[in-house]
Chain A
């Protein structure tokens, strides 16, 4: 079955117009908005004013976009320290929505939106969907979690405003997701990439082939995933898989998105100003150089974020995109500074392990990393589920696979990791963000 586009697809979507703003105009707009937002934060947020004063700065210090480098950074702990409402720049009377991110340790962080902020967010999400060719006539299955997490409502508002049909199915209940996708003729799905893999796997168990469904677009985000994983997803399902970027502290999903070129994520920089800095020296990285993404919200009123350290590692993609958008692009985020773990003195990112596993033909990326300490020495075990594609009735073939995985890991990481082949479903499936690392080293 040919996967045909929705009615609104095939031409230019007017909601994308701001994506093509001439660069000089865009920079003027960014500067005007930056000056406004710095003034707003200075006048309404104690924490920010104190930080500015301590550096001898005031709102008039911002005369050019380069001056953003003078401003203090905001880090996640600033949000925790001022929990719950300390960084709000609007009175509660103007705030129409609160979201909170799951704090894995201690208190969550709380984010706020005025009516206008919700509109900014909605417009960014509309532009995000439009950039992946989704429009009116499309049926979007929104499997991001609804609730305190920004994913569900963010995608929901954007999809509706775009004129698409949104199914607010939220996360979980995988069999029902597959039934709805099939019976409602869903054309686009939004969820985490790891949950989509789980959907694919379950569909195949139920005898449903994604190639026979109308789904043609997947908008995947909220966790790092690799280019190899994208290709695998596209081969297995026949859809186009797009990477979406966002974080609650800035707005939620819709900070950036890939266009049909799939060569980097365009940042909606008329609202979210991106910088990439060396996380150690805190100085700007040269174009193309990898560093930590720092974002400033240019138009959000309830909770302006000035130079927020995302902990996400990326780089700017050089040159202009073939799609014609003037918005700067960042490379897909393969790793987060926070996900890194150190084993026997070596820095390891889960994404490195993912690409090593995927390099071995036929291995599905259901994996988990277990760290333990035996007699004072750190051990890393990578559990990999055995799939029908790689399984053999011959012991020798499985042992060869095992050896191949171990040597690929050692080659990539520079240290030895034990590979354990496990049965399918042995690794717990996540309906949201996948838990890749189990660190048992500190549990006594």
Chain B
């Protein structure tokens, strides 16, 4: 099950993060988790929000360059070697992990990680056959 992630282009200077977060807050859209990747010049803000469609339109209409990307949320056992089990699934496959980051909530003894694959469908098929739980979008958006 793929989920929608919004990515925003931001210049790397003070205060740039505030404005888009305020837009989302004012519209009552909750940020489920986020990750910020940056270089010296610019950054990319990646967001999982409660209502991605509305969030996407809102930010686009406010003049942001915003992109919708399909990512995969995976449940990982919260113990040594937990992540390794997931990574091993892809070790011998052609699927590439572009980047990943952690979700802000865990479920009991499990952590949830967001993975951006170059081929998400192939990744999900591999995970399913390895018996690894892919978290559904309803759970992610409406936690």
Give complex CA distance A420, B13 in Å: 13
Give complex CA distance A392, B44 in Å: 9
Give complex CA distance A191, B30 in Å: 43
Interface contact A423-B60, CB-CB below 8 Å = no
Interface contact B46-A393, CB-CB below 8 Å = yes
Interface size class of A (residues with CB under 8 A): 10 to 19
Q: Verify if A184 is at the interface (C-beta below 8 Å from B).
A: no
Interface contact B67-A388, CB-CB below 8 Å = yes
Query: 8 Å CB contacts to A: which residues of B35-87?
Result: 37, 39, 41-42, 44, 46, 60-61, 63-67, 69
Interface contact B65-A393, CB-CB below 8 Å = no
Q: Verify if A399 is at the interface (C-beta below 8 Å from B).
A: yes
Interface contact B44-A395, CB-CB below 8 Å = yes
Partner of B44, one of A387, A393, A402, A424: A393
Interface contact B42-A393, CB-CB below 8 Å = no
Question: Please, how many residues of chain B have a CB less than 8 angstroms from a CB on the other chain?
Answer: 23
Partner of A423, one of B46, B65, B99: B65
How far is the CB of B12 from the nearest CB of chain A, in Å?
10
Q: Verify if A205 is at the interface (C-beta below 8 Å from B).
A: yes
Give complex CA distance A386, B7 in Å: 13
Q: Verify if B10 is at the interface (C-beta below 8 Å from A).
A: yes
Interface contact A205-B63, CB-CB below 8 Å = yes
Query: 8 Å CB contacts to B: which residues of A359-391?
Result: 386-388, 391
Give complex CA distance A392, B37 in Å: 12
Interface contact B67-A386, CB-CB below 8 Å = no
Instruction: Produce 1/0 per residue, B2-30, CB < 8 A to A.
Output: 00010101110000100000000000000
Give complex CA distance A324, B70 in Å: 56
Residues in B neighbouring A387, C-beta threshold 8 A: 65
Interface contact B67-A421, CB-CB below 8 Å = no
Instruction: Produce 1/0 per residue, A406-432, CB < 8 A to B.
Output: 000000000000001111111000000
A: residues with CB less than 8 A from B are 205, 386-388, 391-395, 398-399, 402, 420-426
Q: List 26 A–B pairs whose Cβ atoms lie within 8 Å, in order of A's numbering.
A: A205-B61, A386-B42, A387-B65, A388-B60, A388-B66, A391-B9, A391-B65, A393-B7, A393-B46, A393-B69, A393-B116, A394-B44, A394-B99, A394-B116, A395-B37, A398-B9, A399-B39, A420-B41, A421-B11, A421-B42, A422-B11, A423-B9, A423-B64, A423-B65, A424-B64, A425-B63
